[in-house]
């Protein structure tokens, strides 16, 4: 709405300016500032261009400005031209593929499926699940076979040579406490991997959403700057004509040329910023977007968030980083149990069969390691220290995430107040100031410089309004990231 009013004001700025008699008959070709699609202009439909009669000859007089082109009849012969040739065979024209149009939620789903970090987190879950399989496996039995010749050393003639062989089977019976602690530690690793995947998704979804809003912001700024640049070009042309006929000082032309250069610089910078935002989105989606993709969205979208008290209770419980750190702490505590259970020995059952020419013997035994000199004190202390480290990180991050929530909420409140302030008073005051400067310029009380300065102030206020709307959406996105709120359908 405000940008539309700026368009109307700037478009009528030159129409009401005093012109010399030599320029009174010149057709008005003042470009209008194109407003962003999020803020449709409420302007009356422009009158249709006048239909001029066709010239008698295709050549125009040197001193006559070119008028609007008059289309010829749909069928038949145009006067003054040769008859059209017979139509030949129609060749098929290649159709260009339509541009990719996505909403912000569709963009988030596409990025969450295509980004390599999400795929890496999925493979990390598979690796953790494989670790559970390995921790739950029973030790394999061991088979030992030995055979060889036997010769008598004292009386070889009395004891002929023969051969003997031996089979030995050993099976380790694990300590049940050690096995249970190892399995629990591996399962905690799976929980940590799942929480890590959720954290990667939440962070990536927030980055995609902020990048999409930034692209919308940069595109709107680029449209406004392009329209302002075209308007400055037209102003310079008219000021140059007034200077040539002696109705304006040359200083106004110098100032107009300076404004044109500044507007062209802002236009180029805005276009480059829009292109950079587009490249950032393509990078986040791992190249899954087409180069000419379009994002349907607006900076004026409604903001729906739970109350702050509810967020303070739910965010620490559902935040994926807190969940991951809790799983890491649980795994560290299970490692302590595992190291303490490793002090108790595991049993190895042995069965042996020995055969020779005269005798066969069967033996059974047990192999036990007695923790007499070393009771794994170093491993236990290391596990305890690692558990305390994980607990400290968890407590710190839980407090820090709470402060991040408070900061994001305050940023949302500040951005909302700025938006209300701009929409409620500042933009209106800047528009009124431009109208007053325009009226003063019409009656010759002010020069063109004052009008351009007032127009620049209004453009700056509108830019600040767009930035405030973007800051509001970015703050809401940060809160959604902390509570892991993003489109989760069709992601499994």
CB half-sphere exposure, 491, CA atoms < 13 A: 22
Max Cα–Cα distance, the chain, nearest Å: 145
- Report the relative pairing of strands 142-150 and 162-173 from DSSP bridges: antiparallel
Six token digits for residue 260: 């044109």
Mean pLDDT over residues 173-187, rounded? 92
Mean pLDDT over residues 391-412, rounded? 95
| CA gap 101, 96 in Å, rounded | 15
Centroid of chain to Cα 133 = 36
205 close to 486: Cβ distance less than 8 angstroms: yes
479 close to 409: Cβ distance less than 8 angstroms: yes
Best CA proximity match to 327, nearest among 382, 391, 379, 381? 391
238 close to 19: Cβ distance less than 8 angstroms: yes
| Domain residue spans of the chain | 2-18+104-147+163-482
Nearby residues of 208 by Cβ (< 8 Å), 6 or more positions away: 104, 107, 108, 111, 112, 281, 284, 285
Instruction: Tell me the per-residue pLDDT of 72-101, one tens digit each, with 9 for 90 and over.
Output: 333 344 333 333 444 444 444 444 455 688
Quote the percentage of the chain above a pLDDT of 90: 46
β-sheet bridge partners, residue 351 = 169, 364
CB half-sphere exposure, 409, CA atoms < 13 A: 17
Q: What homologous superfamily does CATH list for 2-18+104-147+163-482? A: Outer membrane efflux proteins (OEP) (1.20.1600.10)
Instruction: Tell me the per-residue pLDDT of 363-376, one tens digit each, with 9 for 90 and over.
Output: 999 998 888 888 89
Instruction: Tell me the per-residue pLDDT of 28-71, one tens digit each, with 9 for 90 and over.
Output: 333 444 444 444 333 333 433 443 443 333 333 333 333 333 33
User: What are the respective helix, strand and coil percentages of the chain, to the nearest 5?
Assistant: 60, 10, 35
Question: Which of the two residues, 492 and 153, has the higher pLDDT score?
Answer: 153
Quote the percentage of the chain above a pLDDT of 70: 78
Check whether 351 has a pLDDT greater than 70: yes
461 close to 426: Cβ distance less than 8 angstroms: yes
DSSP-derived secondary structure for 177-213: HHHHHHHHHHHHHHHHHHHHHHHHHHHHHHHHHHHHH
């Amino acid at each position: 709405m405000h940008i539309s009013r700026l368009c109307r004001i700037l478009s009528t700025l030159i129409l009401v300016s005093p012109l010399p008699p030599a320029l009174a008959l010149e057709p008005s070709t003042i470009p209008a500032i194109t407003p962003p699609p999020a803020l449709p202009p409420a302007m009356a439909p422009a009158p249709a261009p006048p239909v001029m009669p066709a010239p008698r000859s295709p050549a125009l007089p040197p001193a006559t400005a070119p008028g609007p082109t008059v289309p010829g009849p749909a069928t038949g012969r145009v006067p003054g031209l040769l008859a059209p040739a017979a139509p030949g065979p129609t060749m098929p024209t290649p159709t260009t593929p339509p541009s990719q149009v996505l909403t912000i939620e569709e963009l988030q789903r596409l990025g969450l499926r295509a980004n390599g970090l999400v795929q890496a987190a999925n493979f990390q879950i598979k690796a953790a699940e494989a670790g559970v399989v390995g921790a739950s496996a029973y030790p394999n039995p061991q088979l030992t076979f030995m055979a060889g010749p036997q010769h008598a050393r004292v009386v070889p003639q009395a004891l002929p040579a023969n051969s003997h062989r031996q089979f030995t089977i050993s099976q380790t019976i694990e300590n049940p406490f050690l096995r249970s602690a190892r399995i629990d530690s591996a399962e905690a690793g799976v929980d940590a991997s799942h929480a890590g995947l959720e954290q990667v998704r939440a962070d990536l979804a927030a980055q995609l959403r902020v990048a999409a809003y930034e692209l919308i912001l940069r595109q709107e700024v680029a449209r406004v700057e392009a329209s302002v640049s075209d308007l400055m070009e037209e102003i310079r042309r008219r000021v140059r004509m007034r200077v040539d006929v002696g109705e304006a000082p040359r200083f106004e032309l110098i100032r107009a040329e300076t404004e044109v250069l500044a507007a062209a610089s802002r236009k180029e910078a805005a276009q480059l910023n829009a292109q950079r935002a587009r490249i950032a989105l393509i990078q986040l989606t791992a190249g899954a977007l087409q180069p000419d993709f379009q994002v349907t969205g607006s900076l004026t979208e409604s903001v729906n968030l739970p109350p702050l008290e509810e967020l303070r209770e739910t965010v620490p419980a559902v935040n994926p980083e807190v969940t991951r750190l809790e799983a890491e702490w649980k795994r560290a505590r299970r490692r302590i149990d595992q190291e303490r259970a490793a002090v108790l020995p595991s049993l190895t059952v042995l069965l042996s069969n020995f055969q020779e020419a005269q005798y066969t013997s069967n033996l059974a035994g047990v192999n036990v390691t007695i923790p007499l000199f070393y009771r794994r004190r170093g491993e236990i202390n290391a596990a305890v220290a690692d558990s305390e480290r994980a607990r400290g990180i968890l407590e710190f991050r839980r407090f820090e995430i709470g402060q991040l929530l408070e900061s994001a909420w305050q940023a949302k409140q500040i951005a909302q107040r700025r938006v209300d302030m701009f929409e409620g008073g500042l933009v209106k005051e800047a528009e009124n100031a431009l109208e007053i400067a325009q009226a003063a310029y019409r009656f010759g009380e002010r020069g063109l410089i004052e009008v351009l300065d007032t127009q620049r102030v209004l453009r700056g206020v509108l830019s600040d309004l767009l930035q405030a709307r973007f800051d509001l959406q970015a703050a809401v996105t940060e809160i959604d990231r902390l509570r892991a709120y993003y489109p989760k359908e069709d992601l499994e």
